[in-house]
Amino acid sequence: MADRSSPVSRNIVDLPDGQLLFTPSPRLRAFYLLLLILVVWIAILPWFILAAVTFPGHLTLTLVLPLLFVILAVRWYIPKYWASIRFLFTTKEMVCERGVWQAKRRVIPYSRIRGIEIACGPVCRYLGIATLRVVLDNGGSIHLQGVEDFAEIRRILNEKISG
């Protein structure tokens, strides 16, 4: 998008021409990696152990190697996806970008925004991050995940939107 100039918050950088660039906290990446670890330990590892004990070695390898490849691919994908998330707040609109293989870009004029809500689950609360839900006039919403200073950022965005 543009070069960063001065930080307004840990998640938002003030750009020239009154623009704000939001990028998610590194804690969001840590949260995604934590979820991957939990899925591997709770859902996959017991089946690996069961397969290693009950099946012959060549059959166990046939089952384990594809799953290991999928786990490593997800481990590679998480930081790439986290780095692709950007929200640019211009003087008239909000531009949302995300995606690793298929980049998605959405432009939403401020006139379509009806409100901003804060959502925070127990694990995210422990990590000190939240999700800001931007409610649109058609009933849809945009989620800004990985926000650290959520009350401050909501105030800044409300000022930007109201104008």
**pLDDT digits 0-9 by tens, 2-26:** 444 555 567 788 888 888 899 999 9
State whether the Cα torsion 151-154-160-161 is positive or negative: negative
Phi first, then psi: give them for residue 91, nearest 5 degrees: -75, -25
Q: Which residues contact 113 (CB under 8 A, 6 or more apart)?
A: 94, 134, 135, 136, 137, 161
Matching residue, tokens 């591997």: 40
pLDDT at 57: 83
Q: Which pTM was predicted?
A: 0.81
pLDDT at 7: 58
Q: Which residue has the higher pLDDT, 78 or 63?
A: 78
